[in-house]
Structure 1
Amino acid sequence: MTDLPIYGFRPDLGGLLGLAVTVLLPLAVGLVTTRTTSAGIKAVLLLGLAAVKSVLEAWLQAVNTGVSFEAVPVVYATAVSFGIAVAAHLGLFKPAGLAAAAQQVGARDRRPQPAPLD
């Protein structure tokens, strides 16, 4: 059975690195979306990134330890990662203005703008 990092009191490098990546996922979403992107699309993108992160962690652990890859722990880890990422966004990045700053740095709205009326 795959033993994914549990975000508790395990100060090993893998757990801390996984937690750091999870906390930074909302900023990654902000870099690739615009302010006009709907919250639903941003949430699905965040869930997708959490899933990719969890699958990569489980795959790397399976390769490094020789255990089999199992989907159920990956689904659980994805849900936990998504919850932590949402909490980091709402509790840290949004109030501090980092979420808005990431969106200004990242993707731009590519729709043509109307010419000014002079």
Structure 2
Amino acid sequence: MSFAFTLDPLVVVQFVISFVLPVLVGLVTTRVTSGRWKAVLLAALTLVTSLLVELARTIGSGEVYDLGVALFSALPAFVVAVAGHFGLWKPTGVAETAQTVLITAEEG
């Protein structure tokens, strides 16, 4: 019996992007933007990321683009993004700071 432990580099990239997406949403939204719209934007960006990661996999391997894999991988990526937001970015104040960065840059 043998075992292997491999990580697809594209899955790792998608995980990292999903973890950082809430901060990016904070950068492009303001404090007055409702949580509902931020969640919609986060879901949309997660979906686009999943579609692009599957496109990169298809280009790299020369296989057929699998829309099912791309759409299904958006769900765990969204969960990672939400968990990252509420587990790290919001409690440490990074989410709030990200929302004030562009406002401060425009004023100063």
What is the RMSD of the two structures over their aligned residues, measured on CA atoms?
Answer: 1.8
1:37 equivalent to 2:33? Answer: yes
More helix by share: 2
TM-score by length of 2: 0.85
Per-residue displacement from partner, 1:5-55 (whole Å, max 9, x unpaired)? xxxx74453332221111000000000000000001000000010011101
Contact 1:31 1:105 in 2 (8 A): yes
The gaps in structure 1 that reach 5 residues or longer are 1-8, 111-118
Q: Which amino acid aligns with 1:100?
A: E
Flag as ranges the 4+ runs of structure 1 deviating above 3 A: 9-13
CA contact (8 A) 2:85 2:95 kept: yes
Specify the alignment match of 2:42 in structure 1: 46
Q: Look at both structures and tell me which one has the larger radius of gyration over its CA atoms.
A: 1
Q: Measure how far apart 1:75 and its partner are.
A: 1.3
Structure 2 unaligned blocks of 5 or more: none
Match of 2:77 among 71, 76, 81: 81
